[in-house]
Amino acid sequence: MRIIVSGGGTGGHIYPALALIKRLQQRRLIEEVLYVGTQTGLEQKIIKQEQIPFKALKLQGFQRKLSWHNVETVKLFVQSIHQAKKIITDFRPDVVVGTGGYVCSAIVTAAHFKKVPTLIHEQNSIAGLTNKFLGHFVDKIAYAFENVTTQFSEKNKLVFTGNPRAQEVNALKPNERLRDFGLDPQEKTIMIFGGSRGAKPINQAVIDSLPSFSQMNYQLLFVTGQAHFAAVQKQLTQPLSDRIKVVPYIDDMPSVLPDLTLIVGRSGATSIAELTSLGIPAIFIPSPYVTHDHQTKNAQALVDQKAALMIPETQLTAQTLVQTVSQVMGDSHLLQELSDNARQLGVDDASDRLIQVLLDLIQNNK
C-alpha cells in the first residue's frame, strides 16, 4: 500500500495518524508512506522525530469571523491544492487519509480531484470544520463517537472504527514506571494533569488541594505542564509529602497509564481513547476553550455511560476537586464500575478496523 496521511494542529489529530501508520508497518502493509502537514505545525516535529517522510504545504485555518485573514486563507488553500496535486502525481498513492485539522484540507481535496480513494477520521464527538467540509468529497468517513454521525449528511459514507490510538496502547501492562518518579507502583496512585501544555486552572486547584491530598492514603502524581512548572514551584512554599510528586512533563505518557488507579484531566479524544482501552477510571475537567466545547461533549459521552465523572472548569475549586477524587477513591465499587464501563467503550482493534476500510477502498478502486 502506498499511502499519504495528513493531520495536524494538535496531538489529537497527529497521534491517531501515527498509530495507523505504525500498525500498517507492523502488518507489513505499507510499501511507502508520506505525511503531509505544515512546516510550522506540531506535526512536522512529531513526524520527523519518527523518521517518516514529510512534505509541507502552506496553509492556515479560518477565523470564525469575517476578516482579511480568511481571504488569505482561501488564497493559500487554492495555491496548496495545485501543490498537493503535484505531490499526488509524484507519489502515486493508493489512498489518502486525513485525520483532521486544516492541514489535511488541500491534500485530501486534491486526491478527490485526482480520483484517488480518500478517507477522513473524526476522533471527537463534535466534527471539526475541516472534516465537515471534506465529508462532501471523501469516499469514507471513519468516526469514534456515535453522536458525531448526526453532523454528517453523507450517511452512506460513515463507518465506525474507534480511535487508532486505543489499539496502540491496549497491549500496555503495569511496568513499575512510577518508580521513575519516586513512587511505589504497588500503591494506589492518581495522576492529575492538564494536557501536554498544562492548564493553569487545574494547577491552581491542585496546589490549593495539596494539604488535603497529603492526608490521603494514596499517591499523587501532579503533572503541571512545562510552561507552568516554574510558577507552580514558586507556590509550593511547604515541603511536600513523599507520596506527592510534582513534575513538568512525562515523556511517553502512555507507559505510565497501566500503573494508575485514577486519572484527573482534560477530555481530548486521544486521552479518552487511551483510558477506555485500558479501562482506567477518570474524572474529566474539559477545556472550555476548544472549538464548539467538544471536550465537554466527549466527556459527557462517557459520563452518560457511567464510565467517568466530570467537573466543569467553572465549578473547579480545591473543594470540588478533593470531594470528587475522594468520592471515587473511597468507593471500591465505584472505581470498578467506572473501570468496567470505560473498558466496554474501548475499541481494541480500531487500527485494524480502519485498515480494513482502506483495503476495501483500494480494492474497489481497481
Please write the tens of the pLDDT for every residue from 250-309: 988 889 999 999 999 999 999 999 999 999 999 999 999 887 788 999 999 999 999 999
311 and 182 in a common domain: yes
138 and 178 in a common domain: no
How much is the pLDDT for 202?
A: 96
142 and 207 in a common domain: no
Contacts of 170 (CB under 8 A, 6+ apart): 277, 278, 346, 348
Is 66 a residue whose pLDDT tops 60?
Answer: no
Domain that holds residue 106: 2-163+348-364
How confident is the model over 27-34, as a mean pLDDT? 97
Give the model's confidence band at 318: pLDDT under 50 very low, under 70 low, under 90 confident, else very high: very high
How far apart CA 50 and CA 52 sit, in angstroms, is 6
Q: How many domains does the chain have?
A: 2
How much is the pLDDT for 78?
A: 78
109 and 94 in a common domain: yes
Closest CA to 241 of 209, 193, 288: 209
Beta carbons of 309 and 286 less than 8 angstroms apart: no
How confident is the model over 181-209, as a mean pLDDT? 92
How confident is the model over 216-234, as a mean pLDDT? 93
The annotation places the binding site for UDP-N-acetyl-alpha-D-glucosamine at 10-12, 124, 196, 250, 295
The annotation places the binding site at 10-12, 124, 196, 250, 295
Residue-wise pLDDT tens digits, 142-172: 999 998 999 999 999 999 999 999 998 988 8
Contacts of 285 (CB under 8 A, 6+ apart): 194, 199, 201, 202, 264, 265, 266, 267, 310, 311, 312, 313, 316
Give the model's confidence band at 62: pLDDT under 50 very low, under 70 low, under 90 confident, else very high: low
Cell match 465505584: residue? Answer: 334
The total number of residues written for the chain in this structure: 366
Give the model's confidence band at 58: pLDDT under 50 very low, under 70 low, under 90 confident, else very high: confident
Beta carbons of 310 and 284 less than 8 angstroms apart: yes
- Our separate counts of H helices and E strands in the chain read 13, 13
* CATH number for 90: 3.40.50.2000
Is 75 a residue whose pLDDT tops 80?
Answer: no
How much is the pLDDT for 197?
A: 76
The DSSP result for 152-197, as a single string, is -S-GGGEEE---HHHHHHHT-----GGGGGT--TTS-EEEEE-STT
Percent composition of the chain: helix, strand, coil (DSSP 3-state, to 5): 50, 15, 35
194 and 119 in a common domain: no
Q: What is the residue-averaged pLDDT of the chain?
A: 92
235 and 140 in a common domain: no
188 and 52 in a common domain: no
How much is the pLDDT for 11?
A: 83
C-alpha distance across the termini of the chain, in Å: 13
Chain centre to alpha carbon of residue 114: 30
243 and 220 in a common domain: yes
How much is the pLDDT for 39?
A: 82
263 and 310 in a common domain: yes
144 and 110 in a common domain: yes
How much is the pLDDT for 354?
A: 97
116 and 153 in a common domain: yes
Residue with the larger pLDDT of the pair 243 and 74: 243
268 and 158 in a common domain: no
How much is the pLDDT for 289?
A: 86
